[in-house]
Amino acid sequence: MISIATWNINSVRLRMPLVARYLTEHAPDVLCLQEIKTVAELFPAEAFAELGYTYQAVHGQKGYHGVATVSRLPMHEVSRYDWQANGEARHVGVQLDGCGVTIENVYIPAGGDEPDRDVNPKFGQKLDFFARMTDWAAKIDRPTLILGDFNVAPLESDVWSHKALLKVVSHTPLEVETLGRFQDAHGWVDIGRQMIPAPERYYSWWSYRAKDWRDNDKGRRLDHVWGSPEVAAQARGHRILEDARNWEKCSDHVPIITEFDL
């Protein structure tokens, strides 16, 4: 059994103690981090190695974005795609040496506040990011996982209020349709919803603006684990660590871990 986790950590250097706690208590074989907010040279590589995660692929950027995949199992980096088309560090791909599965770690743009590309360029960039990623997905010819912060909550049960969020970036019909095209391009299986079927409540993000996040529970499922059909068929477990949202100096996202019989 191989366990693979994903977590938008919102600054890995600031929150390394939380990452260390998570790795110590839950011990995934592979951890994919988004929004590491550091260049590779300042990534806490030694701290990860001391925890047993000696295999590392880091695509960093100063102060913004950035992704990293660390592993206790042998792996090697295979790709870095610029789906943003402006040099931002939002993707790194690795291959697990033992089973040949490729893990694509991605941080999709949030898209700003206004769901209209004519008045909000960031929203257009998000849609274009998906379009480039969709073209790539149509050509995949090997077992693949793509996971990370997609910044889209597609289903009604992926948000605290479908009606209230229909015009809010991350849950608009246009974004859901765009995500659907990406899913169809490769026949991706949404493993999170395979293991926790809708309409069961499933959130991975709660805004920092909500004072009592647990009581208000205004969450969204922005973080995803999708797989090629042959990989998804081997998923055996899937868990969301909501308690991590309550840790001191926490990220606004929580880690998700999926187990595979690879």
- Confidence check: pLDDT of 143 > 90: yes
Handedness of CA 167, 170, 171, 177 (dihedral sign): positive
List pLDDT tens digits, range 11-37. 999 999 999 999 999 999 999 999 999
Q: Where are the domains of the chain?
A: 2-260
Range 2-260: architecture per CATH: 4-Layer Sandwich (3.60)
Q: What's CA 253's distance to the chain center, in Å?
A: 10
Q: Are 105 and 92 in contact (CB under 8 A)?
A: yes
What's the pLDDT score for residue 211?
79
Binned at pLDDT 50, 70 and 90, residue 234 comes out as: very high
Binned at pLDDT 50, 70 and 90, residue 49 comes out as: very high
Q: Are 198 and 155 in contact (CB under 8 A)?
A: yes
What's the pLDDT score for residue 96?
97
Average pLDDT on 231-257 reads: 97
User: Residue 242: exposed, middle, or buried by beta-carbon count in 10 A (0-12, 13-18, 19+)?
Assistant: middle
List pLDDT tens digits, range 204-219. 999 998 878 999 999 9
List pLDDT tens digits, range 82-118. 999 999 999 999 999 989 999 999 999 999 999 999 9
What's the pLDDT score for residue 126?
98
What's the pLDDT score for residue 25?
97
Above pLDDT 90, what percent of the chain?
A: 97
What's the pLDDT score for residue 118?
96
Average pLDDT on 140-153 reads: 97
Q: What's CA 172's distance to the chain center, in Å?
A: 19
What's the pLDDT score for residue 209?
87
Residues 6+ apart with CB under 8 A from 211: none
**How far, CA to CA in Å, does 78 sit from each of 31, 57, 126, 216, 252?**
16, 9, 24, 42, 29
Average pLDDT on 146-152 reads: 98
What's the pLDDT score for residue 8?
98
- Please indicate, yes or no, whether the overall pTM of this predicted structure exceeds 0.75: yes
